[in-house]
């Protein structure tokens, strides 16, 4: 019986670890958008419903008005905390981000171009 309990606990811990091993998996709600030091959240999330979901198979889905749905693939380097979003909408919609975490809050800082570097996005893990 002890052996069976140990196996069950090990399996449970392994499944929890694999689900969130990169820290980014799951659904995140947009909290704030800053462009060039100005809060532009109202323009980017006027209905307070924008989200992005990161799946274990390295795909993502985002949605919410006014921009609608987007899908694609992502890669997240856990060592340097860099995120790349490869959007199905095309190369012009791809983006690169430096990511930091504080509890259930994820902060993105754009990089790769002057335009991207002007953007900061704060996401909060969704309660599901």
Mean residue pLDDT of the chain comes to 86
In a domain, 10, yes or no: no
**Which of the pair, 125 or 128, is modelled with greater confidence?**
125
Domain count, the chain: 1
In a domain, 55, yes or no: yes
Confidence of residue 22 (pLDDT cuts 50, 70, 90): confident
In a domain, 12, yes or no: no
pLDDT in tens, 67-103: 999 999 999 999 999 999 999 999 889 999 999 999 9
CB 29 within 8 A of CB 52: no
Tell me, what's the pLDDT at 21? Answer: 59
Percentage of the residues of the chain whose pLDDT score is greater than 90: 76
In a domain, 64, yes or no: yes
Tell me, what's the pLDDT at 127? Answer: 86
In a domain, 58, yes or no: yes
- Tell me how many degrees the CA angle 111-78-89 measures, rounded to the nearest 5: 50
The pair phi, psi for residue 5, each rounded to 5°, is -65, -40
The CATH number for 50's domain is 2.40.128.270
């Amino acid at each position: 019986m002890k052996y069976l309990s140990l196996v069950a606990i090990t399996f449970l811990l392994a499944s929890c670890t694999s689900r969130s091993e990169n820290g980014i998996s799951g659904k995140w709600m947009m909290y704030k958008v800053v462009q060039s030091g100005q809060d532009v959240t109202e323009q980017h999330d006027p209905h307070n419903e924008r989200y992005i979901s990161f799946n274990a198979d390295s795909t993502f889905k985002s949605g919410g008005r006014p921009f609608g749905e987007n899908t694609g693939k992502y890669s997240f380097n856990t060592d340097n905390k860099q995120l790349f979003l490869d959007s199905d909408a095309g190369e012009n919609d791809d983006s690169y981000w430096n990511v930091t975490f504080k509890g259930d809050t994820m902060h993105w800082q754009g990089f790769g171009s002057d335009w991207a570097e002007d953007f900061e996005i704060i996401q909060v893990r969704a309660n599901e």
